[in-house]
A = this chain, B = another copy of it.
Amino acid sequence: MPESTEEPRLPAASLVAFISRALTKVGLPDADAATVAGLMVQADLRGSDGHGIFRLPQYVRRIRAGGLNVTPQIRVVQEADAMALVDGDNGMGHLVMSRAAEVAVEKAKRSGIGWVGVRQSNHAGPAALYAMMPLKHDMIGIYMAVGSANHLPPWGGIDLLLSTNPIAYALPALEEPPLVLDMATTVAAYGKVKTKAQRGETMPEGWMIDYQGKPLTDPRRADEGFLLPIGEYKGYGLALIFGLLAGTLNGAAFGRYVVDFNRDDTTTTNTGHVIIALDVARFSPVESFKRGVDSIVRDMRASRRMEGVERILVPGEQSHAIWQERSANGVPVGPALRAELDKLAAALGIEPLA
């Protein structure tokens, strides 16, 4: 497991409490602050270090700059038996998406599937969190989003017109952990670049190139190049399609209208997402499907291996193991992040992370 064992650990509950303090201080209602804090720390627990408490200073900055509505009226603006369009009223993405996932599950209960498009939302953290929400209803979840900053040109181009637009799928299993694939359409997600920069590490070749097409490995120079899509034109195609489905179709920003939320704290981002819930029971007895997933997972794991490969993994297996380990031992909070969070506590006049 890729843990920096030197980093001090803090219990998840402390992180949740700290995030809640910070968010209520800047105006979120208690219940909403708790919901957002819980989801942000789920990201940390699952090893999505670029999407958890790491993002708190940025969220607070945007809220204090007036770029985000702390008391949004999140509502369904259009609906049919199996779809809905949710307007997030510029609220925290975590709140908007939690509501959208509920609507998708309700629709799927009635009609077999619920497809919910979302506009006027904001950055919501890792895709997996939302794809996993239907799981407890024995449903399959699928999530797509327009990323919150453009770091990808069309294939062959150099203008940053696309984000890493991610997709996540979550499928329930019986004895195995759920199968959860959460992937950017780029080789690396931009959050990973930011984490590398914060840790003073270099990036492997293949993550980014500069405008002359040369490999870019210094994450502090990220502005001088762009991310590479998976499978070349295929990843570009996926980023484009997910952007149209999560953005354009919902009346959310996509393409040159995407606000770079890393540089701009005030302009409404109008972030778009899609959450789909699919009711397994409509297709197959639930236990039989879950047993089928287990069986496929075990067949993959039992494959003969290439030389040097110790274990065959399935999507979500590493995140699940990290989640178990961090739930038991706490979330690593390195010195750089710790310093930022202490600075934030001082600026807000709240009790620091303990």
- Contacts from A to B (Cβ < 8 Å): 78-83, 85, 107, 110-115, 117, 140, 153-159, 161, 169, 171, 179, 181, 183, 187, 211-213, 230-231, 233-235, 237-238, 240-241, 243-245, 248-251, 254-256, 278-280, 282-284, 289, 292-293, 295-296, 299-301, 303-307, 309, 311-315
Contact = CB atoms under 8 A, between A and B. Distances in A.
A111 B84 CA distance: 10
B306 A158 contact: yes
A251 to B, nearest CB: 6
Main secondary structure of the interface of A (DSSP, over half): mixed
A240 B300 contact: yes
A182 to B, nearest CB: 9
Work out how many copies of this chain go into the complex: 2
A81 B111 contact: yes
CB-based closest 4 A-B pairs: A230-B231, A157-B303, A83-B112, A82-B82
10 contacts: A113-B113, A115-B278, A154-B300, A154-B301, A155-B312, A157-B300, A158-B305, A179-B240, A181-B238, A244-B293
A40 to B, nearest CB: 24
A256 B115 CA distance: 32
Given A233-B313, A237-B183, A113 B157 contact: no
Contacts of A289: 248-249
Contacts of A279: 80, 83
A283 B84 CA distance: 8
A153 to B, nearest CB: 6
A238 B181 CA distance: 8
Contacts of A256: 299
Contacts of A238: 181, 183
B78 A283 contact: yes
Given A157-B306, A244-B179, A313-B233, A299 B82 contact: no
A296 B243 contact: yes
A209 to B, nearest CB: 9
A140 B286 CA distance: 29
Q: Which interface residue of A238, A248, A313, A315 has the most chain B CB atoms within 10 A? A: A248
Given A82-B81, A179-B241, A153 B249 contact: no
